[in-house]
A = this chain, B = another copy of it.
Amino acid sequence: MPITEQDRLAGDDPAAPPEALAGGAHATGATQRSRAKETRRQALLSAAASLFAVNGFNRVSLEDLGAAAGVSGPAVYRHFPGKQAVLGALLLSVSQDLLDGGQSVVAAAGDPASALARLVQFHVDFALSNPDVIRVQDRDFSNLSADDQAQVRALQRSYVELWVDVLAGIHSETDTADLRMRAHATFGLINSTPHSVRNHGRRMAIKSARPLLENMALAALTAPA
């Protein structure tokens, strides 16, 4: 472990025996064991998000990862086939969540203009709520296995197309490549927050960041070609 954090996330005392985890919040499995396992899995994913975000995939050892989830080293193999698979699970779930969220937002909206406004709100909210995974996604994508890369890319593509379709309903004259680039650039704008808004609150309050980002994003999206 380099030097940085690894506490703060494992809500439970790392030294506590596994049974202490059994009564955890979620985990809907039947047996006590399967619930404990699910909880541990979530702890590992959460630890991975934070550790990977801070140190980068390559500088987090399985030892670090296990320790942050209250377990040590090779125990990770009881939950994932390998280190790369942890990253895969993490990024696949993020991409899926973004896509699902985006789709339901669009489905709920009436006209394209309000759909776009809601999409922006949704994405800003997502980025401000999950800065860690956002960071990991655009820093450690290339550490995914080839298969996972393809799957994540497919999900991301769908998400982008969602935006492009909505944008096409507004800038009907503009060609798709242009709209796709607008979407990407807007993601870049919104996703910049993990860099500027520090976890330990140095820079700027999230509360005031939200409307500012929304306004900037909408302005950029509706700027003249």
Chain A residues engaging chain B, CB cutoff 8 angstroms: 55-56, 58-59, 138-139, 142-143, 177-178, 180-182, 184-193, 195-197, 203-204, 208-209, 211-213, 215-225
Q: Chain A interface mostly helix, strand, loop or mixed?
A: helix
With A185-B192, A189-B186 in contact, is A178–B208 under 8 Å at CB?
yes
Contact residues in B for A211 (Cβ distance below 8 Å): 225
Contact residues in B for A217 (Cβ distance below 8 Å): 220
Complex CA distance for A215 and B184, rounded to whole angstroms: 15
Nearest chain B residue, comparing its CB with the CB of A194: B188
Asked whether, in the complex, the Cβ of A180 is within 8 Å of the Cβ of B195, the reply is no
Partner of A182 from the list B177, B203, B216 (CB cut-off 8 Å) is: B216
Contact residues in B for A224 (Cβ distance below 8 Å): 215
Complex CA distance for A68 and B177, rounded to whole angstroms: 34
Asked whether, in the complex, the Cβ of B212 is within 8 Å of the Cβ of A138, the reply is no
Contact residues in B for A178 (Cβ distance below 8 Å): 204, 208, 212
Partner of A220 from the list B59, B143, B184, B219 (CB cut-off 8 Å) is: B219
- Return the 6 tightest CB-CB contacts between A and B, nearest first: A188-B192, A219-B223, A184-B196, A58-B58, A189-B189, A216-B220
Complex CA distance for A211 and B185, rounded to whole angstroms: 13
Report 9 cross-chain contacts, Cβ distance below 8 Å, ordered by A residue: A177-B204, A177-B208, A181-B204, A181-B209, A182-B212, A185-B193, A216-B220, A216-B223, A219-B219
Q: Could you tell me the distance in whole angstroms from the C-beta of A66 to the nearest C-beta in chain B?
A: 21
Q: Could you tell me the distance in whole angstroms from the C-beta of A216 to the nearest C-beta in chain B?
A: 4
Asked whether, in the complex, the Cβ of A143 is within 8 Å of the Cβ of B56, the reply is yes
Residue picked from A184, A215, A222, A223, most chain B C-beta under 10 Å: A223
Complex CA distance for A25 and B180, rounded to whole angstroms: 39
Nearest chain B residue, comparing its CB with the CB of A196: B184
Complex CA distance for A53 and B222, rounded to whole angstroms: 31
Contact residues in B for A182 (Cβ distance below 8 Å): 212, 216
